[in-house]
């Protein structure tokens, strides 16, 4: 029980940090994390990352049955898709971060490899990010699209909507999605410029050295 209390507090602390720095605003975004008994703690629907209450997080058991707390995010299908297809997923974070959404609307973005290779860190933390098409918020088809990737991606970008990242725990998932937004910001800042991107040999070296998932 002490571990769960600590996890609840950590979820709310990280969410507030994300909110305070403007990475998702209003009542946008949602996140979830595995508990030690295999259940889930989930941010409730319609809540702000800046004001999450540890005692009111939605609690599910290991079989996916709702146990307590406020009603969960309407995008549970999206979270479940990552947990069901990636055995390493211990947490899932979804934001409405500005620069990544802006990049998703650019006509020449690579759908299979959304982020340009500008720094090593997005490659190390995310691998390839898949750009998915636009879906209505809460549409179960988002979850089906993630399941269609068969667990090969830890991160996707929902076009005109926002990124979704799975990590081994809530801290690593938050760190990775912030790296996604930072890289998208760099891409938008340097758009139209003659940018020196990482060379293919550099990318291959990073993949090898840091054991990055990188489907060809």
Q: Where are the domains of the chain?
A: 2-209
Among 141, 169, 171, residue whose Cα is nearest residue 156: 141
Instruction: Provide the pairing of β-strand 130-132 with 155-158.
Output: parallel
| Fold entry, domain 2-209 | L-fuculose-1-phosphate Aldolase (3.40.225)
Distant-in-sequence, close-in-space partners of 60: CB < 8 Å, separation ≥ 6? 39, 40, 41, 42, 66, 67, 72
Segments of the chain scoring below 50 in pLDDT = none
pLDDT at 138: 86
121 catalytic per annotation: yes
Catalytic residue among 75, 178, 179, 181: 75
Distance between CA atoms of 60 and 40, rounded to whole angstroms? 5
Rounded to the nearest 10°, the torsion over CA 32, 120, 143, 3 is -20
The 3-class SS string of 61-118 reads: CCCCCEEECCCECCCHHHHHHHHHHCCCCCEEEECCCHHHHHHHCCCCCCCCCCCCCC
Phi, psi of 127, rounded to the nearest 5 degrees: 65, -150
141 catalytic per annotation: no
| Contact predicate 24/96, CB 8 Å | yes
| Contact predicate 147/125, CB 8 Å | no
pLDDT at 134: 97
pLDDT at 1: 64
Helix segments in the chain, DSSP class H? 2-20, 76-85, 98-104, 120-126, 141-147, 170-189, 200-209
pTM of the full structure: 0.97
Among 79, 85, 95, residue whose Cα is nearest residue 34: 79
Catalytic residue among 9, 83, 111, 121: 121
């Amino acid at each position: 029980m002490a571990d769960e209390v600590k996890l609840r507090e950590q979820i709310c602390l990280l969410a507030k940090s994300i909110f305070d720095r403007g990475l998702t605003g209003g009542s946008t975004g949602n996140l979830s994390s595995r508990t030690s008994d295999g259940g889930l703690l989930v941010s409730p629907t319609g809540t702000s990352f800046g004001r999450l209450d540890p005692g009111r997080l939605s609690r599910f058991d290991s079989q996916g049955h709702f146990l307590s707390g406020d009603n969960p995010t309407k995008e549970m299908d999206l979270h479940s898709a990552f947990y069901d297809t990636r055995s390493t997923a211990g947490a899932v974070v979804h934001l409405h971060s500005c620069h990544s959404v802006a990049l998703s609307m650019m006509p020449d973005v690579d759908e299979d490899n959304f982020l340009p290779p500008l720094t090593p860190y997005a490659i190390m933390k995310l691998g390839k990010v898949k750009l998915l098409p636009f879906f209505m918020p809460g549409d179960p088809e988002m979850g089906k699209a993630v399941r269609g990737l068969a667990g090969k991606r830890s991160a996707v970008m929902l076009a005109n909507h926002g990124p979704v990242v799975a990590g081994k725990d809530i801290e690593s998932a938050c760190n990775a999605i912030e790296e996604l937004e930072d890289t998208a910001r760099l891409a938008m800042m340097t758009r139209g410029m003659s940018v020196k991107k990482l060379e293919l040999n550099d990318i291959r070296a990073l993949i090898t050295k840091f054991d990055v998932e990188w489907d060809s």
